[in-house]
Amino acid sequence: MGIIRAENVHYDYVQYTDEGQEPVISHAITGVSLEVQKGQFIAVLGHNGSGKSTLAKHLNALLVPTEGTVWIDGRNTADENEVWNVRQTAGMVFQNPDNQIVASVVEEDVGFGPENIGVPTEEIWKRVDDSLQKTGMTAYRKHSPNRLSGGQKQRVAIAGVMAMKPSCIVLDEPTAMLDPNGRREVLEAVRELNQKEGVTVILITHNMEEVIAADLVFVMDYGRIEMQGTPREIFSQVEKLQELRLDVPAVTLLAHELKSAGVRLPEGILTTEELIRGLETCQFD
Ligand code: ADP
Ligand code: MG
């Protein structure tokens, strides 16, 4: 069984308003089944409100399904006795780095999680050293997190999650508030954890560069997974993506239009280099 498995998951938010009034129900997840293998790098795309954050919160038992089941490393997230094991297996990083800082010194911030679950002091420092190194933040260990750039703050947040030794990390639009430099730093750190440490990554993002880095892409719409495939398979389906109200990378769109106009290019061109290579070798109808 994969490290993450969901079977026919539904989730309804129920908002109670005034007494006597019917509650407002929003069907945020409407029948999601998926499986993620250990070590995979998954990108999740989808229009606003498509259910990405709700799905992410199911992966570390912040939410449990209204219907259906989620297993993390074989543990049912709805089993109350498993909540801490589930959270230790799947760590979460959120969009706003400022909301994730808990201490006034970077190394203390990173050590907070393991300290909280009673990891022995010596082991905490080992984990802090290790996590700071893996996220490239060792030089900042004595700094105040508040004075770091957005990208550095997110790397501290990722180091904090890594110090819990999770086998899986779920990042919900971690670069949405960052500048291009910050985005690059965070993507680099996430990639390293995936490739060198074998950490399973679920990355919710709108950023093309981040999607291309993934092994597999899930595209969500109206609480369902509407498309699933490699980045190239996904971006080969320009019309379908547009139907799902998603941006298509400019270079992919250009290649698609050239193709419709009779230029024999391969589908799913993802980078400018690929387009140039394609144009150099292509034939015209
Ligand atoms: P995404 O992350 O893709 O933007 P969300 O998972 O945040 O989507 O939201 C999915 C749906 O659930 C949306 O229709 C949204 O309005 C609704 N929703 C999200 N959070 C809540 C909440 N706390 N209470 C009620 N409805 C919510
Ligand atoms: Mg969201």
Model pLDDT for residues 63-113, shown as the tens digit of each residue: 999 999 999 999 999 999 999 999 999 999 999 989 989 999 999 999 999
Predicted confidence at residue 19, as pLDDT, reads 80
CB 186 within 8 A of CB 154: yes
What DSSP string describes 153-202? Answer: HHHHHHHHHHTT--SEEEEESTTTTS-HHHHHHHHHHHHHHHHHH--EEE
Bridge partners (DSSP) of residue 272 are none
Amino acid at 194: N
CA of 95 to the centre of ligand 2 (A): 9
Residue closest via CA to ligand 1's atom 1 equals 49
- Say what the pLDDT of residue 267 is: 75
- What is residue 121's predicted lDDT score, i.e. its pLDDT? 95
Domains for the chain: give ranges and CATH numbers.
37-65+73-230 (3.40.50.300)
Q: Tell me, what amino acid is at 22?
A: E
Looking at residue 284, its pLDDT comes to 60
Please name which ligand lies nearest the alpha carbon of 171: 2
How high does pLDDT run on average in the chain?
93
| End-to-end CA, the chain | 48
**CA gap 192, 230 in Å, rounded:** 20
> Beta-carbon neighbour count of residue 234 at 10 Å?
25
Q: Whose CA is nearest to atom 7 of ligand 1?
A: 53
In terms of residues, how long is the chain? 285
Percent of all residues in the chain with a pLDDT value above 90, rounded to a whole number: 77
What digits encode the pLDDT tens for the residues 18-36?
888 889 999 999 999 999 9
Instruction: Give the closest residue (by CA) to ligand 1 atom 26.
Output: 13
User: What pLDDT does residue 66 have?
Assistant: 98
Low-confidence ranges of the chain (pLDDT < 50): none
CA of 49 to the centre of ligand 1 (A): 5
Q: Write out residues with Cβ below 6 Å of ligand 1.
A: 13, 15, 26, 28, 46, 48-54
Alpha helices, DSSP H only, in 34-105?
Answer: 52-58, 83-89
**pLDDT confidence of residue 283:** 64
Alpha-carbon span 53 to 28, nearest angstrom: 9
Ligand 2 centre from 79 Cα, in Å?
25
Closest ligand (CA of 220): 1
Ligand nearest to the CA of 63: 1
User: What pLDDT shows up at residue 94?
Assistant: 94
Atom 25 (ligand 1): residue with closest C-alpha? 13
- Atom of ligand 1 at shortest distance to CA of 14? 25
| pTM score of the predicted model | 0.93
- Ligand 1 midpoint to CA 17 (Å): 17
Count other C-beta atoms under 10 Å from residue 181's C-beta: 11
Residue closest via CA to ligand 1's atom 16 equals: 49
Query: pLDDT at position 268, please?
Result: 77
